[in-house]
Amino acid sequence: MLIAFSVAPSGVGTAAAENPDASVHDAVAAAVAVVRASGLPHRTTSMFTEVEGEWDEVFAVVKAATDAVMPYGSRVSLMLKADIRPGHTGEIDGKVERLEEALERREGRAD
């Protein structure tokens, strides 16, 4: 299973320091630290974090990451997209590799 998720606080929480630009980087850092500590394959981009693993372990990481963001706001928003494909692993890189190969073929660069 491959999950892309984004978690962000809103409102004022107990861990929210003065933050005049309304950035959520400290809260996101708390969530990403949980993901990294999980040991699961993962990737973080400017908008989402992807995690790959079995259903229970991936959702446990998403829950823990969400819990890590809770102190930064009075509420938390979680956006999640899942690719559930039993019997497939390594898709966090495999999907991107297949896309790049398709682009190379399309551009006539494939050998």
Q: What is the pLDDT of residues 81-93, one digit of tens each?
A: 999 999 999 999 9
Contact 57, 40 (CB under 8 A): yes
Range list of β-strands (E), the chain: 2-10, 42-44, 49-52, 75-83
Arithmetic mean of pLDDT over the chain: 91
Cα of first residue to Cα of last residue in the chain, in angstroms, is: 32
Over residues 5-20, mean pLDDT: 74
